[in-house]
Amino acid sequence: MTADRREPGPVLRETGLVAILRGRSGQRLLAACESLLESGVRCLEITMNTPGALSVVRRLAGEGAPGVEVGVGTVRRPEEVDAAADAGATFVVAPNTSPAVGERAAERGLGWFPGALTPTEIERAWDLGASAVKVFPAGSAGGPRYLREVRAPLDDILLVPTGGVAVDDVPGYLQAGAVAVGMGGPLIGRALDDDEDLRRLGDRAGAALDAVARGRSGA
């Protein structure tokens, strides 16, 4: 029996891009988030294992900027769902599929994006009530071609490929049927560790958004 499902937020669907912020230091985390938002990237996933993650989520959620969705990633336990919800997150993301995490996300009214890779894993995550399934690690599995082949028999399931997604891969993933892509390192780079790289984050964000536009236009 399929569990209750919360649909992906409108910003994720509209922009087709989730920026994944993960770092050893949280010193530049807020600045990186602000740079992404200023550049037009409006769906952010801040991972639980980044220092200061929840305080930044709380601040961004408290600002209540319209057209912005902020979630928490690397959420593997129900108590982490509670922490994300209490901070004001609207969704949680995981590298795996935990029924307990999915149940708690539903109880707290959060979107849930569990990680899965094989067709069997993807189907199970969907049946448990995923808002969309995070196909992870998509790049290592074969990139857009893998997603296209998996989605052929599973075309009713919303998929968000994540893991090794480069800018040049984005159009292919969207044309293969992804509802959005999750971008970590290729987008964020060393922005959380290095001021000079942080200054280049806006340029990378612009390139990623351009790639989304090309993918959706079929170019």
Q: Which residues are catalytic?
A: 45, 134
Backbone angles phi, psi at 6, to 5 degrees: -95, 125
Is the Cβ–Cβ distance between 3 and 106 less than 8 Å?
A: yes
The DSSP result for 43-106, as a single string, is EEEEETTSTTHHHHHHHHHHHT-TT-EEEEES--SHHHHHHHHHHT-SEEE-SS--HHHHHHHH
CA-CA-CA-CA torsion sign (66, 198, 95, 51): negative
